[in-house]
Each structure stands twice: as structure tokens, then as C-alpha cells.
Amino acid sequence: MTDLRGKTILFGVTGSIAAYKAADWVRSLVKEEARVNVVLTKAAERFVSALTFTALSGNATHRDMFADGPDEVMAHINLSREADALIIAPATAQTMAQLATGMADNLLSAVCLAARIPVLICPAMNTAMFHHLVTQENIRRLRQIGYSVLQPGSGDLACGEHGDGRLPEWNEAREALLSLLTPADLRGVRVLITAGPTREALDPARYLSNRSSGKMGYALARTAMRRGALVTLVSGPVALVDPPGVEVVRVNTAQEMTECVFERARLARVIVKAAAVADFTPAAPSEHKIKKSAETLQLECVKTTDILAELGRRKTERQVLVGFAAESRSHLEEGQRKLLEKNLDMIVVNDILGKDSGFDVNTNQVTIIERDQSFGLPVLSKESTADRIWDAVLRLLGSSEEKGQTV
């Protein structure tokens, strides 16, 4: 799953100063074309009015468990029946204590007790309250019950203290929601992904690199994590936010990426090399900045390690190895050649000259080539493309399992 379009999200807001941020989260969900129903506690209304959430969500805001309007009767049952997921943000220590002990003395806690849908809790409170043994025990209990509880952010708090207790960022909560709503068909699978360019030093001020943005690799990492995979992302220098829940290892040079990948490859069940690693590196980088003293500059370069080819040589029978090829011509022929030469299970080829599949765009149009078949995908978002790639990887994983059983 790549977005929340068409989903019905039940949004609980409790009495924290961070309640004002919930309004922005509701607006973000509506922009994503999700249907949002908000449930406010009485304490939450001390910070943000029901009218605010009604205006932002486009739906009535629910506050009273004993309201007698035609749409309010049995609200604690009907609201969760109609929803795909429930998020509580911010969640106070009081609310978490209620949920951990099964109390249902207001509409929101009653809704939670009646809910048979995924529940995401986003704590926000003073750092001492968060770290109190009772609160930590309540969080442990909530997770044991089956609720998903995010770790709060750390930083300056409204009370003037500094520490854990900030409401998590929306991108983290959104990823958690998507994970809860996405089938975990990669649960427990260790995945190693590379992304982005490398930088090869020419002198202290300059380097050789390429136009890779890393967006495809990061999309692969996010979508794999949502499907339950244990993801390690080895990233070159990019201007992208680390995907929540993903182990990110940052490198700069081709040599650093080579060492990092080989160190981790043995434990990975699936390896996806989406990084655009430099093919050559300066043989002798200058210790000082090169001056413009001549009309031309001759640069001697040496080949870097072909990471993908070496991974192909080291690949075990149970591993699935996926490569990427950015081509400007003869796409199918080049992809098939690299698939065989580098002992890959699958290669994803994209046209770098296409306006929807070139560098630094949010869409892609690729051809997926396997040993026994190849097929093209239409222009899709990079996350949708990533999901289609993982669908193909799942088939290959199933094939490797069958092969292992017959050996």
C-alpha cells in the first residue's frame, strides 16, 4: 500500500498541548483523500475546538458517548465498524492508562474497547511522565494487547524541559498507519537495499558523481518495511529523510559502499542494488584544490569494484539478487545481458531519457526482466513501482523455497 486514499480513519484527540498538531494531521489525511472521523475527549476541547476538526475533516466531530442524535446512537460501536484504522494523537498518559486497564468511561476509550481494527497510539507528554514506571508498564501492556505505540520524539517540550515526550512527526505516524493497513507478506525477511549516488573526490573541493536522487531506493525501503521486512538501506549522499523503521547506513564513496554492502550481504535474504555507484574513481585525488592554470585537464581514473557482479558471484541459492540498470538505448538487450553476466534473479531497467522515468522525478516507468519472463510497467509513482517490484520478488522467494526443498 502506498497511500491512504479511500481509507476511513478514526482519529482520536486527547487533552495535550500537542492537540493543535492533530489538526494539521487531519488536514494531511484529507488531502490524501482519506475519510476522517474525529473523536474528541473533553480535555482535548480545552485546547482545540470541535468546530476546527469538523471544518478540516468535512465530517461531524464526535464528543459525547450519550448523544441522542440519529447519527450518534451507539457511536462507540458504529464508528469503529466503519473505519479501517484508529489513530490516537496526541495520546496522554491518562488515556493510555485507561486503555491499558480496559476503562471505557468516555467515547474514545469505549470506541477503542469495541474496535476490531488496527489501533495506532502516538504519545505526547512531559518527559518525566513518559519515563515513569507506570507509563512504561502501560505502554508494554498496550503493545501486548495488540496496539501499536510509537516512540515519542525527543526535544524541547512545552513545559520548558528537554527530553522524550514530543508528539511523533506526521511522516512517522503515516508510515506506521500504512504498515498497519498493508499485508505483511515480507514479514521477517531481511532485505538489503542500496540507493543514491557515490562521490569520488577529485580534490578537496570537487568530486565526480552522477544525477541519482536516491528516490527509487528509498521508495523500495519504505514499501518493504510496510510489508514487514527487516530493512537495511545503504545510502549514498542524498537529500532525503530516513524512512521510519529502516536501518540507514550512510556512505560517500564507491569503496565505502562496497565495504558496507559486502559486510551485510551474507545475512540478507533479498538484496536490491538500486544505487548508482561510480564506475570509475580518480587514481590520485589532489591533496590541494586544482587551479585553473591550463586550458585542459587530464584525469586518470581507475575502475571501481562492480558490486552487483561480485554479489552475483557470492550469491547463495536462497538469496534473491535484484539489480537496476539505467539505460538510454537498447534497454531490453542491455538488461538481459546484465541479468546473465552478473548472475541476477531479476533486473529493473528504466529509460533515463524519459521525462517520467529520468533522474530526480517522482514517477518511473520500468521493465522488469527475470530469467524466464519480462514485462513492462506503466508510468507509476516510485512507491507504486516499488510495490510491483516486491510483488515480483515474492514470486522469486517462493521459487527459491521450492528449489531448496527439492535439493
Tell me the pLDDT tens digit for each residue of 241-256. Answer: 999 999 999 999 999 9
CB contact at 8 A, 293 and 215: no
Active-site residue, selected from the candidate residues 112, 122, 159, 260: 159
pLDDT tens, 15-54? 999 999 999 999 999 999 999 999 999 999 999 999 999 9
The β-bridge partners of 348 are: 324, 368
Per the annotation, the verdict on 122 as an active-site residue is: no
pLDDT in the model for residue 276? 96
pLDDT in the model for residue 406? 36
pLDDT tens, 268-302? 999 999 999 999 999 999 999 998 887 888 899 99
What distance in Å separates the CA atoms of residue 290 and residue 284, rounded to the nearest whole number? 12
Domain residues of the chain, as ranges? 8-181, 190-406
Angle in degrees, CA 377, 239, 307, rounded to 5: 65
CB contact at 8 A, 196 and 220: no
The amino acid at 209: S
What distance in Å separates the CA atoms of residue 106 and residue 134, rounded to the nearest whole number? 21
What distance in Å separates the CA atoms of residue 258 and residue 251, rounded to the nearest whole number? 10
The C-alpha cell of 128 is what?
A: 518525566
E-strand ranges in 254-364 read 270-273, 280-282, 301-303, 320-327, 346-351, 363-364
8-181: CATH topology is: Rossmann fold (3.40.50)
What average pLDDT does the segment 316-326 reach?
95
What distance in Å separates the CA atoms of residue 270 and residue 391, rounded to the nearest whole number? 13
pLDDT tens, 349-361? 998 888 888 788 8
What distance in Å separates the CA atoms of residue 84 and residue 395, rounded to the nearest whole number? 28
Among 61, 184, 106, 88, residue whose Cα is nearest residue 142: 88
pLDDT tens, 102-139? 999 999 999 999 999 999 999 999 999 999 999 999 99
- Output the average pLDDT for the chain: 93
pLDDT at 405 over 50: no
Burial of 356 (0-12, 13-18, 19+ CB in 10 A): middle
Q: Which CATH superfamily is domain 190-406 in?
A: CoaB-like (3.40.50.10300)
pLDDT in the model for residue 80? 87
